[in-house]
Amino acid sequence: MNVPASNSLLAPSPSSEEFRTPSLTVIIPAYNEELRLRSTLERIIAYFAEKSLSPEILVVSDGSTDKTEVIVQEFAEIHSSVHLLTYGENRGKGFAVRYGMIRAKGERVLFMDADLATPIEELEKLSAELDRGTDIAIGSRDVVGSQLEKRQSFIREFGGRTFNKLVQIVAVPGIHDTQCGFKLFTNRSAHAVFSQCRVDHFAFDVEVLYLALRVYGLKVTEVPVRWAHQEGSKVRFVRDAIRMVKTLFKIRTTSYAPLVAIVKSPQP
């Protein structure tokens, strides 16, 4: 893959491996996403084609029982950058993201939701932060400059804000939005953090940021993004809220293995 030097977005490192190592891997966890996955992949592929980029796109089927995997395979036959990862049974969103992250080859790794609640174009904002030396840039719906084009219901929004206040007290103070499904990592930070993660469900974002910030001292930057609520969320408010609160305290009482050879992203 040949990316012009003048294009700073996710530029590959100048090494003998540059034609085999993608500059970016995109991880898309998918559980029964047949209704919207096709349009999501079309939009992502079109965006990168406009940028003359060809990232590795890994769609991780989390035990889908609909046509999700068929759709991905159809794209893979046409686009060599698209790959289907699957492991059979439903294990949870956190497991799916982790499964993709530790297999990512790209110099940078983006995790994004299949519903495109955050448009793929917002990647440029996150990428700029990695260019400045941050290890992890996370999309945020709750910092100055964010744009909520379609809000969630009052109950979900209130619940999310309440959960975040608890998250800040217990796990990651200073992070206003842990749950936005749009996060960009350097390859090294992605592999370091996700190799230690244990949470399989929706609270995995908190564990990721807890490990990054409080265990390994990585630099994390919140980036305001555009976001629009999409119908069809797999989150069940009461069930998952209770489980996520329990998980917060489990994270704080877990003894994570130290990383003896973690290397932070070089400063520009």
- pLDDT tens by residue, 43-95: 999 999 999 999 999 999 999 999 999 999 999 999 999 999 999 899 999 99
How would residue 236 be classed by pLDDT, with cut points 50, 70 and 90?
Answer: low
**Torsion on CA atoms 72, 148, 181, 213, rounded to nearest 10:** 160
The upper half-sphere exposure of residue 19, i.e. CA atoms within 13 Å in the direction of its Cβ, equals 2
- Residue identified by tokens 């804000």 is 161
CATH tag, 24-252: 3.90.550.10
Instruction: Report the DSSP beta bridge partners of residue 11.
Output: none
Q: Full-prediction pTM beyond 0.85?
A: no
Q: What angle do CA 55, 61, 66 make, to 5 degrees?
A: 125
Residue 149: closest CA among 223, 225, 221:
225
> Any idea where the domains of the chain sit in the sequence?
24-252
Instruction: Report the DSSP beta bridge partners of residue 27.
Output: 58, 111
Question: 2-29 burial string, b = 16+ CB within 10 Å, else e?
Answer: ebeeeeebbbbeeeeebeebbbbbbbbb
- Percent with pLDDT over 70 in the chain: 79
Coil, strand, or helix at residue 150? Answer: strand
